[in-house]
Amino acid sequence: MRRRAAADAPGRDGTWEPRPAVRWEDAFLGGNGRHGAMVYGDPVDDRVIVNHHTLVRPNGSEHARPPELADGLKQLQDALLAGDTAAAERFGADHPLLWVQPFHPAFQTRVRRTPYPAAHHAGATRYRRTVDFATGEVRASYEDWRSQVFVSRADDVVVQRITGFGPAAEVSLDHALAGAPPNLAIGRSTVLTADGARLALRVGYPDSELAYTGVTTARVDSGTVTVSGEGIRIEGARSLLLLTRVRRHAGDLDLNEEWAALPNDDFATLFARHQPLHRAAYERTTLTLHADACQRDLPGSELIRLSGSPAFLERLFAAGRYHLLSASGELPPRLTGLWTGDWDTAWSGAFTTNANLNLQIASAAAAALPEVSEAHARLVYGQLDDWRDNARAIFGAKGIVAPSHTDGASGHTRHFQRAYPLHLWTAGADWLLQPLLEHEETTGVTDPRLTDALVEAAEFYEDFLIRHTPDGALAVVPSYSPENRPANASWGTVNATMDIAAARHALTTAADRSPGHPAATGWRTLADRLPRFLVGEDGALAEWSWPGLRETYDHRHLSHLYPVWPLTTINPYDTPELADAAHRALELRGSENDSAHGHLHQALIAARLRDGRRVQDALGAVLAGDYFHTSLMSAHYPSRNVYNADAAHALPAVVVEMLVQSAPDRLVLLPALPAGYPAGELCGVRTRFGARLDLSWSADGHATAVLHPTRDARVDVRTGDGLTLFESVTRRSTEPPTETSAGTPVALLDLTAGVDRTLALRPR
């Protein structure tokens, strides 16, 4: 195994490669939640692909509104309740399916050495490319050539410095990336300055008044700069500094204003402003797995082949936090995070909200990335007007209904398809508001916007739910379980378990948060009248709580286990029989097409159900399935097929859930630790009862958890199977410690803000 010099080692907080990226999928990534950068690190043709969250290509869908279908809703409901299992296929069937505006890259900055170096870098042992997760800096070096790139959190600019590029270099902004439409309207501007040049690239979308413009300042240390072709030529310079921004806009921009708005500082000053902001967020939570030092020093391309190595999981946890933080700011992460090198992004590079988005941001609250939760809040609250339109037009109801896909610019429902009737999905608002509830519980700060949105979610169900029996029992109809169908019926049906869980949760949560609301009592009554979850003859929690509908088990989605994760309404402590039924449903679930998000969704649910072996199996399928590019960004399918951030971003949540779980009144320690990780530390976890937690465990079965409360709380503490809890109180009391049997609570542990508590676990 090759080892690198200690001075160059990123350790657990970075990764490296001994050669430049050839494919854009392997480019190292940087981002500040608005701008993204994909760094090839090629000393001959140094390319950095620039991205921005707002760059979506107009395709006609941007003006679409949800169709007026509400007049036909009563007829559909009657037909479905009467047993017409295909009735929903006619509801909106004549409305076209419109994909949201596709996400795309802006351009790439190119610095091409002329003439080419005599000794090419390919395979050269002196080459090194690294990314430092703690600072966000991507470096590459070969002989006397050096490149440094970061995306500034302080100045919102892509910063690139190059030294040692030889006697001359050509610099340009290159829009001709993979899949770029041939009829883009391209405009360029180059202005020489006293210390370099200013470059601009304007790209107009076909058949649209919209465009985007990239502006770059190029500053050189000595040397000469001349206009050359579509860019500039630099000769005799010691270094080059490029500062780049992108803006999507209508009409024209004043380029002088855009250039003038770029900072006028040197690299060191810019980095000094950026680095503390990034580092403070990244370092809040850390994972150490006592990995083999030699394996920890390997480049990512070699470590990927050691799928069972603790060093591999340790690095993926760090990379996942880094990429999730880097992709979240103006918006949360897309299907591709904040990055793509191709205009033809799969599924439009959208925010797919019926599984993928929530899985990607699942670690935000617990793993101390409030920046991610705040980005998610910007997406949700910015689209509530559109969600109101969806509820009114499709269902004739007040309140809100979220779409299953969005480009970030519009929240209108536009996905109408017989095989995937995503317009029938009504659980989306509750599902998308749940991460914001967890953020509030973790921080202890109440957001009135969330209360208002939860009230609107309840108001929708107040209008939408219908009585279907003389005793007043309610039904959710039409109902849809993304993206599955019963084995003996069409996709749109009655009483999908996810819909029931979402309705009950929305109604009760709104009533709890707004007890003085005139409808609060009525919401509780509606929640009580919702159908109970159905357990089938096979002992499994059914995906549809409606008699006669048969299960389809081989599917990537696990929507019906929403009450287990992320909700906690089904759990082994309060509802053990339903938890057993949910576990049986998990046992029977297949992986269908091996989508990465399906495996990790299974792992999250298995962790909640205290099944460490199943966590290990699901996690292992992803670690061993060749899902990760050498950038440590992931793919949707095995063999690195389809660039997709689901696995990269969701993996830290799986790690946290198998080690620590919390609810507002409960803490579970080591609920589902896989056998492959016998020792380690997880530090800086945030709990939903307002305490920071540091956990360590060892191969002899002992563990210690230290709680740092930020507010008073009373918490039921549980442990994983085979562990006994031994409580000692730090800096609080001299009373003798108490000991409990495995799996039973410490008698409602009282926490006081500012007073640490230490909990010791040992084998029974």
- pLDDT tops 50 at residue 732: no
451-474 residue pLDDT tens: 999 999 999 999 999 988 777 789
Structure tokens at 587: 């046992």
Whether the CB-CB separation of 227 and 180 falls below 8 Å is answered with no
Average pLDDT over residues 468-484: 89
**What pLDDT, on the 0 to 100 scale, is given for residue 31?**
98
- pLDDT tops 80 at residue 272: yes
Q: By C-alpha distance, which of 759, 745, 687, 739 is closest to 716?
A: 745
**What pLDDT, on the 0 to 100 scale, is given for residue 745?**
62
- pLDDT tops 70 at residue 391: yes
Sequence-distant (6+) residues with CB within 8 A of 540 are 551, 581, 584, 585, 587, 588
What helix, strand, coil percent values describe the chain, rounded to 5?
A: 30, 25, 45
Q: Which CATH number fits domain 6-56+102-279: 2.60.120.860, 2.30.130.10, 2.70.98.50, 1.10.10.60?
A: 2.70.98.50
**What pLDDT, on the 0 to 100 scale, is given for residue 10?**
65
What confidence category does residue 116 fall into, taking pLDDT thresholds of 50, 70 and 90? low
- For the chain, the average pLDDT equals 93
- pLDDT tops 50 at residue 591: yes
**What pLDDT, on the 0 to 100 scale, is given for residue 8?**
55
Instruction: Examine residue 483 and say whether the peptide bond preceding it is cis (omega within 30 degrees of 0).
Output: yes
Q: By C-alpha distance, which of 530, 528, 508, 504 is closest to 519?
A: 508
Q: Which residues pair with 331 in a beta bridge?
A: none
Please compute, for residue 710, the number of CA atoms within 13 A of its CA located in the half-sphere on the CB side. Answer: 15
Average pLDDT over residues 574-597: 96
Please compute, for residue 144, the number of CA atoms within 13 A of its CA located in the half-sphere on the CB side. Answer: 7
Average pLDDT over residues 573-583: 97
Structure tokens at 267: 């690299």
Structure tokens at 504: 């009950």
**What pLDDT, on the 0 to 100 scale, is given for residue 730?**
45
Please tell me which residue, 495 or 94, carries the higher pLDDT value: 495
Q: Which residues of 575-605 are buried (b: 16+ CB within 10 A; e: fewer)?
A: beebbbbbbbbbeebeeeebbbbbbbbbbbb
Q: What share of the chain has pLDDT > 90, as a percent?
A: 89
Phi and psi angles of residue 643, each rounded to the nearest 5 degrees, phi first? -55, 125
- pLDDT tops 80 at residue 294: yes
**What pLDDT, on the 0 to 100 scale, is given for residue 118?**
53
- pLDDT tops 50 at residue 412: yes
Chain centroid to CA 611: how far? 24
Spans of all domains in the chain: 6-56+102-279, 61-97+307-663, 667-763
Angle between the 267-282 and 310-327 helix axes, to the nearest 10 degrees?
120
Phi and psi angles of residue 110, each rounded to the nearest 5 degrees, phi first? -130, 130
Average pLDDT over residues 616-635: 98
Average pLDDT over residues 280-299: 96
- pLDDT tops 80 at residue 180: yes
- pLDDT tops 80 at residue 258: yes
Whether the CB-CB separation of 327 and 375 falls below 8 Å is answered with no
Structure tokens at 518: 């005139």
**What pLDDT, on the 0 to 100 scale, is given for residue 742?**
45
Average pLDDT over residues 561-573: 97
Structure tokens at 485: 């169908």
- Residue type, position 420, single letter: Y
DSSP string over 533-597: PPB-TTSPBPSB-STTPPP----S--GGGTTTTT--SS-TTT-HHHHHHHHHHHHH---TTT-HH
Q: Phi-psi bin for 743: left (phi > 0), alpha (psi -120 to 50), beta? A: left
The C-alpha atoms of residue 745 and residue 759 are separated, in whole angstroms, by: 12
- pLDDT tops 50 at residue 723: yes
- pLDDT tops 50 at residue 2: no
Q: Rounded to whole angstroms, what are the CA distances from 704 to 323, 534, 761? A: 29, 40, 6
CATH number for the domain formed by residue range(s) 61-97+307-663: 1.50.10.10
* Fold agreement between 61-97+307-663 and 667-763: no
Q: By C-alpha distance, which of 7, 88, 700, 12 is closest to 426?
A: 88
- pLDDT tops 50 at residue 4: no
Within 272-370, strands assigned E span: 286-288, 351-352
User: 667-763 belongs to which homologous superfamily?
Assistant: Golgi alpha-mannosidase II (2.60.40.1180)
pTM: 0.96
- pLDDT tops 90 at residue 254: yes
Cα angle: 66, vertex 71, 75; to 5 degrees: 120
Whether the CB-CB separation of 755 and 709 falls below 8 Å is answered with yes
Angle between the 448-464 and 370-381 helix axes, to the nearest 10 degrees?
50
Q: Rounded to whole angstroms, what are the CA distances from 547 to 82, 83, 473, 478, 554? A: 12, 11, 14, 15, 20
Q: What share of the chain has pLDDT > 70, as a percent?
A: 95
Whether the CB-CB separation of 167 and 224 falls below 8 Å is answered with no
Average pLDDT over residues 720-746: 58
